[in-house]
Amino acid sequence: MPTATSPSTTAPTSSRLTFEDATTELLSKLMQGAEEHYRCSAAFQVRPVMIAPGTPPEYALLVGVDYQNNVVIGEDGVRIPVLPSLGPAITRVSPPRFETGATVTVEGSDLHLSGLSVRLGPVELPVTTQRPDRLAFEVAPALANGSTISAGEHPLSVVQALPGGRRRSSNLLGAGLMPRVTVAARRTSLTGGGLVFGFIDLDGELLGTARDDLFVALYADGRTVRMLDRQVAPPAPPPPPVPPQTRASVELPEAQAVPPGPYRVIVRVNGQQARNSPPILMTVP
């Protein structure tokens, strides 16, 4: 009687064994096909098996031993590499627009380092408080005299003093230094049609120099009535001389005369608008 492993002696042709993906469609075809002569079908998988050899154990030299000189050096042999700080980096200025005398907060990273100061345009200001993620500084009231800086948008950075006189600066952010208007006065005349024209004199801080962009608007009844940018020299004050940028004048020409009445004066210097808009009564004395 032939065994399972002995060759077949009754098969008219040689037997062949094929391998195909054993999907459900294939099994249905093999088991239910009308013209197929397979008597049995089976699904199985052939998977490769990787036999990995065991890795040898790993060891490290002892910490705190100088193997070159064969001495025990203890903690002197411990070395932890630490990347030094790349300097301060800033992400936000709050508030983004401020007047002289205000306290401003700068947010970022590495703001706890020693030797930090804040550079606002051409001016360097001391830091008042520090934390790793923020610092604060005061916009010095002395800047209001306008001798070192004008109102407008200025670059702001945090600067670190390094040994040897070198300085490391953070990235730049924009910050707006605002003018301040305290008084608006008029020097006016009447046209033949009863309209008012003349000059508007302003008193305040950081009102601009002859090279700055001064913009004045007359506002009434919920709308801007006139926009003025023709800056003229203000009348000379009595002695002693006043600090720069504390007085400014604009002309309201006769061709742009306005009806008599109360107005609000809106002042912008180099794109930064003053926080307050003082009232002015446009009449003829």
Instruction: Give the pLDDT mean for 95-100.
Output: 95
Domain ranges of the chain: 89-177, 181-282
> Residue 280 pLDDT > 60, yes or no?
yes
Q: What is the pLDDT of residue 109?
A: 93
Question: Can you tell me the distance from the alpha carbon of 176 to that of 261, in angstroms, rounded to the nearest whole number?
Answer: 33
Residues 6+ apart with CB under 8 A from 252: 188, 196, 197, 198, 199, 200, 218, 226, 228, 258
Residue pLDDT, tens place only, 123-137:
999 999 999 999 999
Q: Residue 241 half-sphere exposure, CB side, CA atoms within 13 Å?
A: 4
Q: What is the pLDDT of residue 8?
A: 56
> Residue 12 pLDDT > 70, yes or no?
no
Q: Do domains 89-177 and 181-282 have the same CATH topology?
A: yes
> Residue 49 pLDDT > 80, yes or no?
no
- Percent of the chain at pLDDT above 90? 51
Higher pLDDT residue, 230 or 225? Answer: 225
Instruction: Give the pLDDT mean for 16-33.
Output: 62
Q: Residue 147 half-sphere exposure, CB side, CA atoms within 13 Å?
A: 6
E strands in the chain: 65-66, 71-72, 89-94, 97-98, 103-109, 116-120, 123-131, 134-138, 152-161, 167-169, 173-177, 180-190, 196-205, 214-220, 223-228, 231-232, 247-252, 261-269, 272-273, 279-282
Residue pLDDT, tens place only, 34-47:
555 555 556 666 66
Neighbours of 178 (CB within 10 A): 24
Q: What is the pLDDT of residue 239?
A: 65
| The CATH homologous superfamily of the domain defined by 89-177 | Immunoglobulins (2.60.40.10)
Task: Say which CATH topology domain 181-282 has.
Answer: Immunoglobulin-like (2.60.40)
> Residue 77 pLDDT > 70, yes or no?
no
Instruction: Give the pLDDT mean for 50-71.
Output: 73
Q: Taking the chain, what is the end-to-end CA distance rounded to the nearest angstrom?
A: 138
Q: What is the pLDDT of residue 74?
A: 72
